[in-house]
Structure 1
Amino acid sequence: MEPPATVQERSPTALTLRWRPPTAPSWTRLQIADPFQQWRTVYWGPKCHAHVPRLAPATCYRFRLRGDASAQWRPFRAATEPSSPQGAALHMTRAVKLANSALIRKLALHRCSPRLLNVPNKEHKTPIVQALEAGDLGVVQLLVTLGADVNQPQLFSGRTPLMVALYRGALPVAQFLVDKGRR
């Protein structure tokens, strides 16, 4: 099923949404759910697009769209961008720390980009190094599958993920990296 609207432009604090024009000429109403889950109209008019400003960074919002008074509401979701790579790295750090594979996958594939898999956090550790330090083979495997660069050395120490795994005594993780041909 096709979503009722698509994101034409995305920034940390605004979204520009576009939708198909109704079959008959009419006015379209676009609403957003506020923090209390009450619907608030953000656009009402004849156009097929709307700019929604003053949104929070890295947040998923619920919207609904209706072409005319007799039509049914069509719900959808859209998310703003993180305010910085470090902000997105914070979300990834939390997801790795909690071993939340669904959130890791969502952040890497949908919310941000695969580049996030290689962005160090405030401690200068990439997500794969964080998972290595926790000794979580499942998260390491997921990150490698999603495209994490396992040869990327840490900023200050210059250690690769394999070196970190060996230093921490995480032998199953080290064996996985060796099996994948990493150095």
Structure 2
Amino acid sequence: MHDTPDVIAISGSLRDDSGTRIAVQRTLDAAAEAGATIEHIDLREWDLPLFDPDTGAAESGDGPELAARIREADAMVLGTPVYHGTIASPLKTALDYCGIDDVEGTTVGMLAVAGGGFPTPTLQHLRASVLELNGWPLPQAVAIPDSWAAFEDGYIADGDIAERVEKLGADVVAYAGIADRHGETEQSELATGD
């Protein structure tokens, strides 16, 4: 883990006026206030063709670079709009470029933005993907239903949602590297016989 926690976030929306991107940036701002260095990965700016395991790195666009940046981070925030009850395809494609070595032990905060009802299934799908990559998802994710009412003029209009988003940013920093700290504690106990 870095001396200053390094938090990377991926916004899974390609929409210009994206509530997901707004919420992800607010999460990162809170992480910076908690002492982290931050980077916002806007997938509109990345060349990520659909993942093909038979394609060489030269034909994978920015996939290898994305995986490398994720591998270097101490914590990550994943934000997705809800499309048909699940993760948006741009975020799924980004995660497809990651292997266990890129995500293992990384603290992950998650949020989902839905145009309609509560996005519980989407957050469950996202959590399952993080767990398959041996990431360490925070127990509390942020669900933003009824996005048409939650955002206004580029800001989160709902105070309760804004507070939850900011808490997610602070929690990502507080728990950054927790898998490493837990491992160090176990190793220390083994070394001392405790």
The structure whose Rg is larger is: 1
**Shorter-chain TM-score: what band?**
under 0.3
- TM-score norm. by structure 1 comes to 0.26
Structure with higher RCO (Cα < 8 A, 6+ apart)? 2
- TM-score norm. by structure 2 comes to 0.25
More helix per residue: 2
